Amino acid sequence: MTDRADGIEFRFNGRSVTARPGQSVAAALHANGITALTVSSKYHRPRGIFCAAGRCPNCLLNVDGRPNVRTCTVEAERGMDVRSELGRMHAAGLRGIDLVGPLFPVGFQYRYFKRPEWAYRIWENRLRRTASHTSLPVPATAVPPARRLASELAVVGAGPAGMGAALAAADAGLRVVLVSRSASLGGAAQPLEGDSVLGRAAARLETAESVQILQAATVVAQFGTVLAVDGGREAMRIEVRESILASGAYERLLPFDGNDLPGVMLAGAARRLLAQQGTRPGRRVAIVTDNDSPYHLVAELLAAGIEVPVIVDLRAAAELEQAQATLDAGRPVRVEPAARAIRAGGWQRVRWLRARSATGHALKIECDAIVISGGWQPADELRRAATGYGAIVLESHGAEAIDWQSESAVTSVVLQGAGSVVGARSALEAFYQGQIAGLQAASRQGRDVGPALERARTELRRAVGS
Query: Which of 22, 54, 173, 309 is the binder for ligand FES (CB under 6 A)?
Result: 54
Q: Least CB distance from residue 444 to ligand FES, whole Å? A: 35
Judged by CB under 6 A, does residue 182 bind ligand FES?
Answer: no
Query: Which of 31, 52, 371, 415 is the binder for ligand FES (CB under 6 A)?
Result: 52
Q: Least CB distance from residue 348 to ligand FES, whole Å? A: 16
CB closest to ligand FES, residue no? 72
Site for ligand FES in 10-49 (CB under 6 A): 26, 49
Judged by CB under 6 A, does residue 266 bind ligand FES?
Answer: no
Q: Least CB distance from residue 220 to ligand FES, whole Å? A: 15
H or E, element range at 265: strand 264-266
Judged by CB under 6 A, does residue 59 bind ligand FES?
Answer: yes
Q: Least CB distance from residue 165 to ligand FES, whole Å? A: 25
Residue 242's Cβ-count burial label (10 Å; 0-12, 13-18, 19+) is buried
Q: Which is nearer to ligand FES, 199 or 231 (CB)?
A: 231
Rounded distance, CA 71 to CA 52, Å? 9
Crossing angle of the two packed helices 427-444 and 160-171, in degrees rounded to 10:
30
Q: Which is nearer to ligand FES, 72 or 158 (CB)?
A: 72
Q: Least CB distance from residue 420 to ligand FES, whole Å? A: 18
Site for ligand FES in 64-123 (CB under 6 A): 70, 72
Judged by CB under 6 A, does residue 56 bind ligand FES?
Answer: yes
Rounded distance, CA 185 to CA 223, Å? 26
- The torsion of the CA quartet 176, 181, 183, 184, rounded to 10 degrees, works out to -60
Interface with ligand FES: number of residues (CB under 6 A): 12
Do the beta carbons of residue 442 and residue 172 sit within 8 Å? yes
Q: Least CB distance from residue 52 to ligand FES, whole Å? A: 5
Give the interface segment with ligand FES, choosing from 55-63, 94-102, 243-251, 283-291 (CB under 6 A): 55-63
Half-sphere exposure of residue 433: CA atoms within 13 angstroms, side-chain side: 32
Classified as helix, coil or strand, 448 is coil
Q: Least CB distance from residue 181 to ligand FES, whole Å? A: 10
Site for ligand FES in 330-359 (CB under 6 A): none
Rounded distance, CA 355 to CA 337, Å? 11
Judged by CB under 6 A, does residue 264 bind ligand FES?
Answer: no
CA distances from 403 to 23, 246, 400, 452 (A): 44, 19, 8, 18
Rounded distance, CA 374 to CA 288, Å? 8
Q: Least CB distance from residue 58 to ligand FES, whole Å? A: 5
Do the beta carbons of residue 177 and residue 212 sit within 8 Å? yes
Crossing angle of the two packed helices 160-171 and 197-207, in degrees rounded to 10:
50
Residues contributing to the site for ligand FES (CB under 6 A): 26, 49-52, 54-56, 58-59, 70, 72
